[in-house]
Structure 1
Amino acid sequence: MELHDVWFVLIAVLWIGYFFLEGFDFGIGILTKLLARDRPEKRVLINTIGPVWDGNEVWLLTAGGATFAAFPEWYATLFSGFYLPLLVILVCLIVRGVAFEYRAKRPEEKWQRNWEQAIFWTSLIPAFLWGVAFANIVRGVKIDAHKEYVGTFWDLLNPFSILGGLVTLALFTFHGAVFASLKTLGDIRERARVLALKLGLVTAVLALGFLVWTQASRGDTKSLVAMAVAVLALVGAIAAIKAGREGWSFALSGITIAAAVAMLFLTLFPNVMPSSLNGAWNLTVSNASSSPYTLKIMTWCAGLATPLVLVYQGWTYWVFRKRIGTKNIADAH
């Protein structure tokens, strides 16, 4: 296996890690409006991800940095062609981080309510747009012979990509509801389980349609296996949450995300960004990659740093592993 193939796999792993972790993170943000009934319950939900949300976003930064260094042509075409949706995602992530930090800085109800609205919308919008972006990458976009995107913003809004956005939105919200049932106590835990079951059924319908469409248009045997794993894991997650096994349900919903993202990358390989104008203009792992020397240096750096990051982040989740409820929330100022 060539180094550019290795880095294609590593970038896929980084996106899997990001969507697994940031998926329930976005889901919790959306649930502050769908699940929480009052301010203490919103504080409970926010506190479940309070210690970890910023660490989850490191996976996105690493995925973007790795793409820039390992596949500069892919990075350039992707970020120039998808400039507007990626800019919206970036602004949402910035505002979302500010909202988490500033929400409790003042006691006024209007102040806190406005920041809570910001958390909701800046969780919902990226959850949808990530699906739109990846669906377009898999489907293929208008790339010319000079490896430049020549389409418009409206070309990115098509039935396949919109369905992809709805799938990630539903899947992340389901993942967040399962996480909420795993991390909370009392009435909010029970309502999270009920909501997760309903969301799981909606997600199953949307995901099955999207994955079958993807497999029919670009799939092969390997992607079919990944699709089967995703579907079975999602069914298992729904069954587990119905049985009250929140831990198993969370693990299985995570496997669903991992298998679905793996399927998308399997349908891409050896392309990294197909051209819908001419197959000869596809960006591939070979014509979009950096030099072998650059990839070799990156591999050594990744091999040394990655285990440390994984150990540290795993330790963080272990420290903050206990459930919380409204009884753990201090009175307002």
Structure 2
Amino acid sequence: MELHDVWFVLIAILWIGYFFLEGFDFGVGILTKLLARDRTERRVLINTIGPVWDGNEVWLLTAGGATFAAFPEWYATLFSGFYLPLLIILVCLIVRGVAFEYRAKRPEQKWQNNWEQAIFWTSVVPALLWGVAFGNIVRGVKIDKNFEYVGNFWDLLNPYALLGGLVTLSLFTFHGAVFTALKTDGDIRVRARKAALGLGLVTAALALAFLIWTQADKGDGWSLAAMLVAAVALVGAIGAIKIGREGWSFALSGVTIAAAVAMLFLTLFPDVMPSSLNSDWSLTVSNASSSHYTLKIMTWCAVVATPIVLLYQSWTYWVFRKRIGTQHIAPDAAVD
């Protein structure tokens, strides 16, 4: 296996890690408006991800940096062609981070409500747009012979990509509901389990349609195997949450995300960004990659840095592993 193939696999793993981790905190952000009944319950939900949301975004930064260094042609075409949706995602992530930090800085109810609205919408929009973006990458976009994107924003809003966006939105919300059931106690835990059941059924219908469409259009034996793993894991996650096994459900919903993302990358390979105009103009792992020397240096850096990142992030989750409920929230000091 060539080093550019190795880095294609590593970038796929980074995206799996990002969607697994950021997926549930997007879901929790969405549930602050859909599940929480009052401000105290919203504080419980926000506190479940408060210690970890910023660490989860490390995976996005690493995936973007790895793409830039290992596949500069892919990075250039992707970020120029998808400039507007990626800019929207970036702005949402910035505002979302500010909202988490600023929400409790003042006691006025209006101030806190505005930041809670920001948390909700900046969770919804990226959860939707990531699916749209990856749907377009897999489907193929208008790339010319100079490896430049020559389409426009509206070309990205096609039925396949929009379905992909609905899948990531529903899947992340389901993942977040399971995480909420795993991390909370009391009435909110019971309602999170009920919400997860409904969300799971919606997710199953959307995901099945999207994955079958993907398999029929671009799939092979390996992608079919990944699709079956995703389908079985999702059914298992729904069954586990139904009987109150939140830990198993969360693990299986994570497997669903991992298998679904793996399927998308398997359908891509050896392309990294197919051209819908001419297959000869597609970006591949070979024509979009950096030099062998660059990839070699990156590999050694990854060998040293990756265990450190995994250790400190695992430690964070271990420290904040206990359940929380409304009884752990201090009396609300907000004023009108």
Same fold (TM over 0.5): yes
Equivalent-residue separation in structure 2 for 1:331 and 1:31 (angstroms): 22
C-alpha deviation, 1:4, in angstroms: 0.2
Aligned ranges 1:1-333 → 2 under 5 Å: 1-333=1-333
In structure 2, give the amino acid aligned to 1:136: N
Q: TM-score, normalised by structure 1?
A: 1.00
What 5-or-longer segments of structure 1 have no aligned partner?
A: none
CA-based RMSD: 0.3
State how far apart, in whole Å, the 2-side matches of 1:314 and 1:227 are.
28
Distance 1:332 1:186 in 2: 19
Distance 1:141 1:217 in 2: 15
Secondary structure at 1:272's aligned position in 2?
strand
Shift of 1:96: 0.1
- For 2:299 and 2:195, the matched residues in 1 are separated by 43
Separation (CA, whole Å) in 1 of partners of 2:309 and 2:139: 33
In structure 1, C-alpha distance between the alignment counterparts of 2:289 and 2:196, rounded to whole Å? 41
Amino acid at match of 2:136: N
| 1:14-70 Cα distance to aligned partner (Å, 9 max, x none) | 000000000001000000000000000000000000000000000000000000000
Tell me how far apart the structure 2 counterparts of residues 85 and 308 of structure 1 sit (CA, whole Å): 32
Structure 1 CA distance for aligned equivalents of residues 170 and 305 of structure 2: 33
* Corresponding letter in the other structure for 2:290: S
Task: Kindly provide the amino acid, as one letter, of the partner of residue 114 in structure 2.
Answer: N
Q: Return the offset for 1:332.
A: 2.1
TM-score (norm 2): 0.99
Amino acid of the structure 1 residue aligned with 2:276: S
* Secondary structure in structure 1 of the residue aligned to 2:244: coil
The separation in 2 between residues aligned to 1:236 and 1:303, in whole angstroms, is 34
Deviation at 1:331, TM superposition (A): 1.2
Cα distance in 2 for partners of 1:103, 1:260 equals 34
Give the ranges of 4+ consecutive aligned residues of structure 1 lying more than 2 Å apart after TM superposition. none
- Deviation string 1:142-175 (CA, Å, 9 cap, x unpaired) is 0000000000000000000000000000000000
Q: 1 CA distance for matches of 2:180 and 2:309?
A: 25
| Equivalent position SS for 1:147 | coil
One-letter code of the match for 2:236?
G
Paired residue type of 1:243 = I
Where do 5+ consecutive residues of structure 2 fail to align?
A: none
For the residue of structure 2 that corresponds to 1:114, the secondary structure is helix
**Corresponding pairs, count:** 333
How high is the sequence identity, in percent, across the aligned residues?
83
